[in-house]
Every structure is written in C-alpha cells, then in structure tokens.
Amino acid sequence: MSIYNITFSPTGGTQRVSDCLCSAAGEEFIQIDLTDRAFDPSAIALSENDLCVVSVPSFAGRVPKTAAQRISLLKGNGAKAALVAVYGNRAYEDTLIELKTLLSESGFRCIAAVAAIAEHSMLRQYAAGRPDTQDMAELQQFGRKIAEIAASDSLPADLYVPGNIPYRAIGAFLKPIVADSCLSCGVCSDMCPVGAIPQDHPGETMLDQCISCMRCISVCPSGARMLDPATMEAVNGRLGPLLSGYKKNELFI
C-alpha cells in the first residue's frame, strides 16, 4: 500500500495537519501539492491498494473552488481516501460532504474523515499556534486508526460525514491589497496557486482570478501584501465571537 498526502494548503495549516496524519499512518508517503498550478492531478496513477489522505482548508464552510476543480481531475481507480477538512475555529459546515462527493465521483472509496483546527489564515489571532502539541498527539491517533481501517477487509459501505446538500452558498471573499513597501521580488506571483498576480506587475492582483487564499500575504517578505485593515477590523467585530473558544478535532469512521 502506498500512502499519498494530497493537499491544498495555501498558508501551511492544512499541510501540518495532513503531514501529521500521514506520518502516523505509515513510514513513508508521497506528497502531492494541489496548489502547484503547473501540476496535472490526472497524471497520478492510483490503484485500489493505495491510501490517499486528501486535505483541504474550509473556505466559507466549503472546499475552495480551485481545490475542488483539481480534486475532480484525480483518477481514484478504487483507491481508499481519508478526507480532511481543516478550519480556523469557526465551522467547516459542508466541507467534508462536498469533499466526499468530489472523491466518490472521482472513483475513490471514502473510508474515514477528519475535521481539524488550524490557525485562521485571515484572522490569525484565532486558533493561533494550532495544531498544537495536544492536537498533534490526537491527529497521530487518528492517522494510526485510518491506516488500520485501510489495511482491514471491512471498509465502511457509506461513510457518514456531517454537512448538507445542496451546499451552502458562498459570498464574496476579501482580496489582498499591496502597500508601497512592495520590493517587486515576484515571490507572490510565483507562489499564487491560480496565477492571479502578474509577474511583471506584482503590485497588482487580477481580482476576477484571485481565490482569496492568503498565500501571497503569508509569503511576502516585506509585509506589503495585506487585507485592508479597516475592513478587517469590521470583519473581526462580526466574526470574532464565532471564532473564539477551543474547538476539538473530530474523526469519522
């Protein structure tokens, strides 16, 4: 059995969760980065012996649209899938059920699902430092359990995950702005998962292409990319109460 760690992680939280699950599930795993816009997901040759841990962040309680498009290009060929939704301490709503539908339609057998917390990538003061040591220990247990199920003869006939169909509607997301401190280094342009930042004008953002994933903000060496501070203050006032408190990781088997 080969283990594939298939992730869409613009700012690294989803990756940390998924790495922890995969390293507990087996000694070695193959990394597939769905934020790499040059990569063709249909090129991966999977078989029914393989286990794929497929991890996405929750954006407005849904699978980010670019992740959904790239996951639908995978050819499962009966491979076993563990679904992972990583969220910033508010809620993941329809993320797991959407992920389950996408993977089932792509020919995977869904055997387990995880909802896990990581630092909020827009409002970084919430769930700061998570996954923490306690989360990691719990995720390791989940990873070992997932490997056990994958190796057994009795896979779930129809895995239960929470969520609703039709999925919740998505409104407009905030887009980054660029300050004068931009060094024109081009790092943000190279690393944008959808190519929304022109290489020759990295101070701009093609707003119709941007998926508000926050990667450019997290990789900018000069702090020039940001969300509008006044808008963020208003968002914090509205969402803050929903993002507070300690939410727990969950395993569905």
Give the residues lining the site for ligand SF4 (CB under 6 A): 176, 178, 182-188, 192-194, 196-197, 202, 205, 210-216, 220-222, 224-225
CB 186 within 8 A of CB 201: no
Closest separation in Å from C-beta 243 to ligand FMN: 7
Query: Of 74 and 116, which has the nearer Cβ to ligand FMN?
Result: 116
Under the criterion CB under 6 A, does residue 163 sit at the interface with ligand FMN? no
Cα–Cα distance between 207 and 196 in angstroms, integer? 7
**Measured from the CB of residue 225, what is the shortest distance to ligand SF4 in angstroms?**
5
Query: Least separation, in Å, of the C-beta of 98 and ligand FMN?
Result: 12
Stretch that binds ligand FMN, among 8-16, 23-31, 100-108, 202-210 (CB under 6 A): 8-16
> DSSP states of 69-97 as a string?
HHHTT---TT-EEEEEEEE-SS--TTHHH
| Residue closer to ligand FMN, measured from CB, 14 or 101 | 14
Which residue from 10, 76, 143, 202 is in contact with ligand FMN, where contact means CB under 6 A? 10
Distance CA 167, CA 62 (A): 8
Q: Is there a cis peptide before residue 131, judged by omega within 30 degrees of 0? A: yes
Instruction: Please list, in sequence order, all residues whose beta carbon lies within 8 angstroms of the beta carbon of residue 201, skipping any fewer than 6 positions away.
Output: none
Pick from 173, 194, 203, 236: which binds ligand FMN (CB under 6 A)? 173
Which alpha helices (DSSP H) does 152-228 contain, by range? Answer: 187-191, 215-219
* Cross-strand bridge partners of residue 178: 225
- Residues composing the chain: 253
Residue 117 structure tokens: 């917390």
* Strand, helix or coil for residue 15: helix
Nearer to ligand FMN, 81 or 115 (CB): 115
> Quick check: 91 binds ligand FMN (CB under 6 A)?
yes
Residues 25, 29, 50, 89: which binds ligand FMN (CB under 6 A)? Answer: 89
State the binding partner of 186 from ligand FMN, ligand SF4, none, CB within 5 to 8 A by kind: ligand SF4
Round to whole Å and give the CA distance between 67 and 84.
13
Peptide bond before residue 166 is cis, with ω within 30 degrees of 0 = yes
Which residue, 161 or 178, is less far from ligand SF4 as judged by CB?
A: 178
User: Closest approach of Cβ 28 to ligand FMN, in Å?
Assistant: 22
Q: How near is the Cβ of 173 to ligand SF4 at its closest, in Å?
A: 9
